Amino acid sequence: PAPNPAPSAKEKARAARKESDDADDKTRVGVDPLSVDQLVALKIAGVTPEVVERISAMGYEPTVNTLVGFQHAGVTPDYVKSMTDRFGRSIPAEQLVAMKHMGVTPEWLGQMAALGFGKEDSDDLLAAKAMDINAAWLNELKAAGFGNLTLDEAVQLRAMSVDATFLRELDAAGVKPATVDELVRLRAGGVDADFIRRMQKPRK
């Protein structure tokens, strides 16, 4: 049989990064030996023995990834408590860091809960925040005739840049989509009010 080709430099670099990431996920500061790269990452992130103690007191393993991630994102005990209280469970460290970076705050979660999105999973809410879904946009859609959306539907519409203006323009052109699917198909197909009017104009 032909010998397996030697891995390329890019593949080697990718494998090395994965190995490094895996090590950072498992290496506990104050317990396990630290590599040079890990020491540099901890120093740059401003990790101190006090930080290690504080994050451990929050209930998280003081791994290199968690310590560095919490420090760069600015995760505090108050933030951890507010998210834990909101979801009724401990949020995984990696997800907590992503939520903090995305700007998921107790205030934003309160706005979403007031609009009926109070029981969604943190993954779904993180996806919504990543799409910049907010109370103003949702209320505008509702006023234009598209209320009672699920969070998945809201994310879908936001991803397609559907807004209240688009809905009003369709309505003025005589088209009222009955479902989110119809609305998405119109948007994806490039159908706008001008196209609708031209297609409905009587032929001479």
At residue 63, the 3 state secondary structure works out as strand
Q: Is 62's pLDDT higher than 90?
A: yes
At residue 98, the 3 state secondary structure works out as helix
Q: Are 20 and 37 spatial neighbours (Cβ–Cβ below 8 Å)? A: yes
Give the tens place of pLDDT for each residue, 63-72. Answer: 999 999 999 9
| Cβ atoms within 10 Å, residue 23 | 17
In this prediction, residue 2 carries a pLDDT of 53
Reported pTM: 0.71
Q: Are 150 and 119 spatial neighbours (Cβ–Cβ below 8 Å)? A: no
Consecutive H or E run containing 124: helix 122-130
d(CA 190, CA 184): 10
pLDDT band at residue 202 under the 50/70/90 scheme: low
In this prediction, residue 117 carries a pLDDT of 86
